[in-house]
Amino acid sequence: MEEIQLHSFTFPLLIIISLFFFLSITKWFNKLLPSTNKKNLPPSPRKLPIIGNLHQLGPLPHQDFHFLARKHGPVMLLHFGSGPVVVVSSAETAREIMKTHDLTFVNRPHYSVQKKLFYDGKDVSFAPYGEFWRQLKSILVVHLLSNKMVQSFRSVRKDETALFVEKIREYSSSLEKNVVNLSEMFSELTNDGICRSAFGRKYGDSENGGKSMSLLAEFLELLGIISIGDIFPWLGWISRVNGLDKRVRRVAKELDDFLEGLIRERMEKPEGGKNGGNFIDIVLEIFNDKASGFSVDRDSIKALILDVYAGGTDTTATVLEWAMAELLRHPRVMENLQKEVREIVKGKNDITDEDLEKMHYMKAVIKETLRLHPPSPLLVPRVADKDVKIKGYDVSKGTIVMVNAWAIGRDPQSWDEPEKFEPERFLKNSKNENVDFKGLDFELIPFGAGRRGCPGISFAVATIEFVLANIVHKFNWELPDGLHGKDLDVSEKAGVTIHKANPLLAVANRTKCLWYR
Ligand code: HEM
């Protein structure tokens, strides 16, 4: 009995002593090893047990990351729970992620809400890199987003913008104080534009239109949510208790019914597929044509439609909202822009694509808006497929990488007086004259870059240019209640795309141009 007791006490003690000895030896031995065997991790803000760095983030993480990067540098390692997240905040480091190592960061992390809503990632945005993703992206680019297709949607842009202008005119003359809610109106406009170009019709004013619109709005809202179980797998049960799982399931089911209805409707009266139909007709034709070589199934078609909707509506509306907010804050810039647009359009009613091409100041205003207000400030996250070095730091396989386009647009290394809204910086003979947002200049990357870069740039820019040129041509704008530009609140609202915290309200005064009947 004695012996057993002695034995049961000394044995664990021996293990502890040997473990301690082993750890000390390893530590001492590690010091002797060449430094290449040790990980050179990026600098990190101090983290807490279990939650990691989550306590340092608020509802606008791009701003918190920007603040932290000032202290820790342009490559920073954080932890969401125990999961490593690298945030990069300079043009040089963004280039390393999206150009030098684009293939290593070509996939996206899988979050459960997005996975469920996009049919298990059967869309372009979340599909794993490979043949399926390539096929789907090429269908999207060739049949909806190529320059040729974007031009072909000119009549949709023209009709929808004319309706928009008419609505502003009606509001301005009927409302007591002439105030229009531009934020709300831009959202409706981009919604209708995408639905008409891609699905052949809009939903806002149809029967059941209100229901469809609120379903789509709820879908966009859910896309901005990361379930707690994605960060702390052991807390996955919380989404079952707090109703998130149930809500996602309901929205996914209602969306599926809506999309099935849409597909049935198009199948019953297709408008000619490749010979002039809309995007959904063309995709259905490819789907039905076994000889096309594409292996898309019905779920991918529905996921693709959701991609177009999610990618193309809110993002474009946000750019218009911020552009007008900045123009109202900077009357000098507004005046220059109106002068340019009115001189080019002269007394005509219609603004043509050729006119838009000549509007260099307007293009500079749009670039400056995208520099300070990228709609998705952290782009869409990527994940490291293997161990890799970024700016000499070790980044391990599985690390999530976020590119802070918002911080890069404000980096004094790339921009003079970065906080100033100054479109002139992009004009001829200026320092940033050749900088563009197409994914080649890493100091301006609102659309991302590389293989996973946004395919919708031409589509979005065509809408933004046309709408902006029309509204500054046809109206003079001011803030309501005698507010001065400098008083306009420009704080941001949290969400998957970053809108103004408060809706943009403005007063439109008609100009005496020919357009006005
Ligand atoms: C101002 C408007 C827009 C902005 C700021 C924007 C921004 C972005 C960003 C930041 C990404 C991720 C890029 C990356 O990971 O490098 C992206 C991807 C994507 N965007 Fe856009 N986007 C806009 C308009 C559009 C439009 C109009 C469409 C389609 C109708 C669209 C469809 C997509 C798709 C499908 C992807 C996923 C690409 C992939 O993963 O391969 N976007 N967009």
CA of 405 to the centre of ligand 1 (A): 14
For the CA atoms of 65, 60, 116, 317, the dihedral, rounded to the nearest 10 degrees, stands at -120
Sequence-ordered list of residues with C-beta below 8 angstroms from that of 307, at least 6 positions apart, any chain:
118, 123, 124, 125, 140
Question: What is the rounded CA–CA span in Å between residue 165 and residue 388?
Answer: 52
Mutation test residue for ligand 1: of 186, 280, 447, the one with most atoms within 8 Å of CB: 447
Burial of 507 (0-12, 13-18, 19+ CB in 10 A): buried
Nearest-atom number in ligand 1 for the CA of 451 is: 41
**In contact, 491 and 500? CB cutoff 8 Å:** yes
Q: Quick check: 399 and 384 in contact, CB under 8 A?
A: yes
454 belongs to an annotated ligand binding site: yes
Rounded to the nearest angstrom, the distance between the alpha carbon of 159 and the centre of ligand 1 is 24
Dihedral class, residue 475 (left if φ above 0, else alpha if ψ from -120 to 50, else beta):
beta
**Ligand 1 centroid to residue 146 C-alpha, Å:** 14
Task: Residue count of the chain, please give it.
Answer: 517
Kindly report, residue by residue over 21-69, the tens digit of the pLDDT.
444 444 444 444 444 458 999 999 999 999 999 999 999 999 999 999 9
What local confidence, expressed as pLDDT, does residue 326 receive? 98
CA of 438 to the centre of ligand 1 (A): 12
| Of 105, 66, 50, 182, residue with least CA distance to 503 | 182
CB within 8 A of 367, min separation 6: which ones? 423, 426, 435, 436, 437, 444
Q: Which ligand 1 atom is nearest residue 123's CA? A: 35
At 105 the pLDDT is 98
CA-nearest residue for atom 11, ligand 1, is 454
Tell me: the pLDDT tens digits for 157-208?
Answer: 999 999 999 999 988 777 566 799 999 999 999 999 988 887 777 776 666 6
For the CA of 450, the closest atom of ligand 1 is 16
Q: Would you place residue 276 in the very low, low, confident or very high pLDDT band (cuts 50, 70, 90)?
A: low
User: Which carries the bigger pLDDT value, residue 177 or residue 317?
Assistant: 317
Residue ranges around ligand 1 (CB below 6 Å): 98, 124-125, 137, 145, 307-308, 311-312, 315-316, 319, 375-376, 379-380, 446-449, 452-456, 459-460
**Residue 9 CA, ligand 1 centroid: distance in Å:** 64
Residue 14 has pLDDT above 60, yes or no: no
pLDDT at 37: 58
Task: Give the C-alpha distances (Å, rounded to integers) separating 108 from 111, 115, 163, 443, 449.
Answer: 9, 11, 39, 22, 14
Who's near 216: CB < 8 A, 6+ residues apart?
191, 203, 309
Q: Which domains does the chain have, with CATH numbers?
A: 112-516 (1.10.630.10)
Query: How far is Cα 357 from Cα 348, in angstroms, rounded to an integer?
Result: 16
Ligand 1 centre distance from Cα of residue 311 (Å): 5
Average pLDDT score over residue span 243-260? 94
Q: Which residues contact 279 (CB under 8 A, 6 or more apart)?
A: 143, 144, 197, 198, 199, 308
**CA 353, 355, 356, 360 torsion-angle sign:** positive
Q: What is the pLDDT of residue 22?
A: 46
Token pair 């509204």: residue:
471
Give pLDDT, residue 32: 47
pLDDT for residue 16: 45
- Token readout for 66 is 């920007």
Q: Are 379 and 445 in contact (CB under 8 A)?
A: yes
**Residues whose CB falls within 8 Å of the CB of residue 516, separated by 6 or more in sequence, listed in order:** 169, 474, 510
**Cα–ligand 1 centroid distance for 40 (angstroms):** 33
Residue among 454, 466, 499 to mutate when testing ligand 1 (max atoms within 8 A of CB): 454
- Report which ligand 1 atom has the smallest distance to the Cα of 126: 40
Tens-digit pLDDT profile for residues 387-438: 999 999 999 999 999 999 999 999 999 999 999 999 999 999 999 999 999 9
Residue type, 398: G
- Would you give the DSSP letter of residue 145? I
Say what angle helices 298-312 and 209-223 make with each other, to 10 degrees: 80
More confident residue, 308 or 517: 308
Buried (b) or exposed (e) across 279-305, using 16+ Cβ within 10 A?
bbbbbbbbbeeeeeebebeeebbbbbb
Return the bridge partners of 48, or none: 52
pLDDT digits (tens, 9 = 90+) for 477-487: 999 988 999 99
Residue 512 has pLDDT above 70, yes or no: no
Residue 83 pLDDT class (50, 70, 90 cuts): very high
Cβ 480 vs Cβ 177: under 8 Å: yes
CA distance 193 to 156: 7
Q: According to the model, what pLDDT value does residue 207 have?
A: 62
State the residue for tokens 């750019």.
Answer: 319
